[in-house]
Structure 1
Amino acid sequence: MTVRPRRAVSRVFLNLAAIVVIVASLFPVYWMVNTSLLPASSVRSTPPHWWPDQFTLKNYQEAFADDGLVTALFNSMAVTGITLVAALVFAFLASIAVSRYRFRSRTTFIVAILVIQMIPAEAMIISVFRVLDGWYLINTIIGLSFVYIAMVLPFTIWTLRGFVNGIPADLEEAAMIDGCSRTGAFWRITFPLLAPGLIATGVFAFIQAWNEFVFALVIMTRPEAMTLPIWLRAFVQATKATDWALVMAASTIMAVPVIIFFLIVQHRMSSGLVAGAVKG
């Protein structure tokens, strides 16, 4: 077998492997949506319904009829928005500092970021609760946002640091030779090339804050303070005998904002990657 046929065969196997991975990743999402569009009596029927041949929106109507959904949706959006903006701002400044400047304890700071990521977040629940309780921030959006910001910052700093290190400082120096100030060179040259990194870390921060359950369960104890994951748990418990069609409808509602957010930013992520490759 010559080199070219071997490459063709390996390419076919790689494509097949990619298709298997994509199907395995998308099938749970499809099954969730499919189940949410079926009546409860058809969910556990044999053989299973592979598509919504008994289409109904009753499950979504019952989910939206729940009084806590709108409040939980607002709380999740508020907490996620605060976490996303604050995490990106702080991580952006920190990544620039550790990548572009040399200062005392710089290495210690970088190592500390790695060590913090190794600590299980659940191990600090009691300490975090007592601190927030002392600050009167239990059952508040600000209190939960503080916790989420602290959770996502180490990873976002580390990720953005890699993006900043990948942009040569010579680009800024060349712009300064052409007449730009240091600030102008940064905003005109470096910052546009950081757009893919900011969007990638922003997606991570958004998903982490939107889906987090344990800290929200401990900190947001009042019904009016629940986020969507806590609302979903209470909603499932309220159905007594688990109505899987109804649960899948509520889960789909919870997943829709994440999908919308990704659809909004994915084009900018792709265009930012292309622009960075051209400018680099």
Structure 2
Amino acid sequence: MTAQTFTKTTEISAVSPPRSRRTLGNRVDGQRRLWNGVAVIAIVVLVFPIYWMINTALSENENLFTRTPRFFPFPISLDSFAGILVDDGFWSALGMSAGVTSVVVIVAVLFGFFAAIAVSRFRFRGGGFIILLVLIVQMIPTEALFISQFRMLDGWSLLNSVGGLSILYVGAIVPFTVWLLRGFIHGIPPELEEAAMVDGCSRFGAFIRVTLPLLGPGIVTASVFSFLQAWNEYTLALVVMTKPGNATLPLWLQTFSSDLSATDWAGIMAGATLISVPVVILFLIVQGRLGAGMMAGAVKG
């Protein structure tokens, strides 16, 4: 072998990657394609019910009972949405749900916020028991409390009222809100408040100026959780709101039917679509802070 041939062979070996490296790269690419395919399938599975809900809402009733499913709503019909918007029951249920949800979000977040501060920043006898009690309360099935909750509200004359249903929702949501915000507060070092107090701030001023802004993502996350629980809850409302005129949106959606006493699937799906609109708008508004809050809550506390 001449020196020139040996030099060219050496250069080719130096430039060409080893076979094991190419094999490893192909394996990594194959795994990436596999996981990408799994992700696409998961997204399709999650999005398809929403798509089918909108598809059904935009379809005519006679097209819903054909043997061959229609994946595209042609011709598009808005009759179901028009029928809901002129229904007084929808607006009454919307007002009831909006009132209950507003009260629950404000009260649950405030109570959970102050309780989380107490168990996170102060040392007192029984603090550990309170945290344990919060966990135990979350383990109790909601259905096991229906009878006692109904009798309690009946004794207070709070059945079929915004206040009565809000009390039950707040009691169910506050334990998780305390646990959630406790994780965020634990992730903020107390030394930051102490440094602000050294600079002349009072304890309350240090908390307002230093700690509270850092708790923004946690408060947003707790508010969204409270909103979703109160807006979509069905079983407690079914027990407490016994009068048709005092139904929340999930209860009103259950009773939505056509004049022939048959299930109006297009109307139900149109109502479900309208109920979902405030949730979508809320997520679009707070998606940035909500993502940061969920990531922070996953690693703190």
In the alignment, does 2:155 pair up with 1:134? yes
Q: Deviations over 1:190-244 (max 9, x none)?
A: 1111111111111111111111111111111112211111111111487622121
> Residue 44 of structure 1: SS of its match in structure 2?
coil
Query: SS of the residue aligned with 2:255?
Result: helix
Structure 1 position 4, deviation (Å): 5.3
> Counterpart of 1:175?
196
Map of 2:104 onto structure 1 = 83
Residue number among 45, 49, 53 corresponding to 1:32 in the alignment: 53
Q: Which residue of structure 2 aligns with residue 213 of structure 1?
A: 234
- Of residues 114, 118, 140, the one that matches 2:139 is 118
Displacement, 1:254? Answer: 1.5
Over 3 Å counting, the alpha-carbon distance change for 1:134 and 1:217 in structure 2 is same
> Displacement, 1:5?
5.1
**How many Å separate the matches in 1 of 2:27 and 2:204?**
52
Query: Does 230-239 or 22-31 show the bigger shift?
Result: 230-239
Letter in 2 for 1:82: V
Aligned with 2:71 (options 50, 63, 66): 50
Name the structure 2 match of 1:95. 116
Is 1:228 matched with 2:237? no
> For the Cα contact (< 8 Å) 1:69–1:228, is it kept in 2?
yes
Q: Does 1:72 align with 2:72?
A: no
- Structure 1 or 2, whichever has the larger Rg, is 2
Cα distance in structure 2, aligned partners of 1:16 and 1:185: 50
1:13 pairs with 2:34 = yes
TM-superposition CA deviations, 1:22-60 (whole Å, max 9, x none): 221111111101110000111232432212221010011
Which stretch of the first structure deviates more once superposed, 219-228 or 101-110?
A: 219-228
Mapped contact 2:256–2:264 kept (Cα < 8 A): no
Provide the C-alpha distance between the structure 2 equivalents of 1:82 and 1:265, rounded to a whole number of angstroms. 19
Report the CA distance shift for 1:79/1:107 in structure 2 as closer, same or farther (over 3 A).
same
TM-aligned CA deviation for residue 73 of structure 1: 0.2
Distance 1:5 1:172, change over 3 A: farther
Q: How has the CA–CA distance of structure 1 residues 231 and 85 changed in structure 2, closer, same or farther, with 3 Å as cutoff?
A: same
Structure 2 CA distance for aligned equivalents of residues 155 and 54 of structure 1: 46
Q: Which runs of 5+ in 1 are unaligned?
A: none
- The sequence identity of aligned pairs, in percent, is 48
Query: Partners of 2:160 and 2:224 in 1: how far apart?
Result: 25
Q: Which one of 197, 218, 227 corresponds to residue 197 of structure 1?
A: 218
Match of 2:186 in 1: 165
Cα distance 1:185–1:68, how it changes in 2: closer, same or farther (>3 A)? same
Which residue identity is paired with 1:65?
A: V
Normalised to the residue count of structure 2, the TM-score between the two structures is 0.85
Correspondent of 1:252 among 273, 277, 282: 273
Select between 166-175 and 116-125 the one with higher mean Cα deviation.
166-175
| TM-score, length basis structure 1 | 0.91
1:187 maps to 208
Distance 1:196 1:239 in 2: 49
Instruction: Name the aligned partner's letter for residue 38 of structure 1.
Output: S
| Unaligned runs of at least 5 residues, structure 2 | 1-19
Are 1:193 and 1:272, in contact at CA under 8 Å, matched by a contact in 2? no
User: Residues 155 and 221 of structure 1: is their aligned pair in 2 closer, same or farther, counting only changes over 3 Å?
Assistant: same
**Which whole-Å CA distance do the structure 1 matches of 2:31 and 2:143 have between them?**
44
